[in-house]
Chain A
Amino acid sequence: MELLGLYNYWVFAVLLMVGFYAVIAKTNMIKKLLGLSIFQGAVFLLYITMDKVEGGTAPIIQKGVDAVYSNPLPQVLILTAIVVGISTTALGLALVVRIFEAYGTIEEDETQRLDLEE
């Protein structure tokens, strides 16, 4: 039971590395982007895991109720990071679109080959 309290961190580790695998092993650029967003999700999960307090509730203070509240700080960091994450993913996607228009492919090794041929 004690070890189950670490499960969130293990899932974080696995997710992080699943995303990382996509970034380093896949040649398709969209796949790399999706891997990056999985990686991002893993980090979000790590932060939000840390905010949890046993028997606590979300940090919205109820007047007159003596409750334990979770840690608001990681939530603030991740809340903004999610919106930043989607904008940067969109930026990456725009780059991929332009790469496709220039090279006619979105496979990384093919674009490198085309670069060398020039």
Chain B
Amino acid sequence: MYLAASFAIFVTMVLAIIRALAGPSVYDRVLAVNMFGTKTVLLLSVVAFLYGRPDFLDLALAYALINFISVLAVLQFFENRRSAEDQSTEKT
């Protein structure tokens, strides 16, 4: 059962990596990274049970808590860039 689930997760990981490499826009890549993150959380939970050491779920918990910070940082990054562009167009 866990094996089937991890297989599904693996296939999805491959699909996400293809999307991350293919693009075309940068947002597609961010989306793929984010999806890859949740898939990693799932994989870690499944593998923790597969190995019979469920006390290692801390790892999945860590990812679940902090993985979305990088996406927020991406939003911040583009907001900053846009406001910088606005200022430079105002000056000229």
Contact = CB atoms under 8 A, between A and B. Distances in A.
Interface residues of B, number: 4
Nearest to B55: A60
Interface in B16-73: 51, 53, 55-56
Interface of B: 51, 53, 55-56
B26 to A, nearest CB: 15
A30 to B, nearest CB: 14
Contacts of A90: none
A57 B55 CA distance: 12
B76 to A, nearest CB: 17
A58 interface: yes
Interface in A43-67: 57-58, 60
5 contacts: A57-B51, A57-B53, A58-B53, A58-B56, A60-B55
Contacts of A58: 53, 56
Contacts of A57: 51, 53
Contacts of A60: 55
A34 to B, nearest CB: 15
B42 to A, nearest CB: 20
Nearest to B53: A57
A58 B55 CA distance: 11
Nearest to A57: B53
A57 B47 CA distance: 12
Contacts of B56: 58
Interface string A3-46: 00000000000000000000000000000000000000000000
A78 to B, nearest CB: 15
Contacts of B53: 57-58
A57 to B, nearest CB: 6
B30 to A, nearest CB: 17
A58 B59 CA distance: 13
B9 to A, nearest CB: 20
A82 to B, nearest CB: 14
Contacts of B51: 57
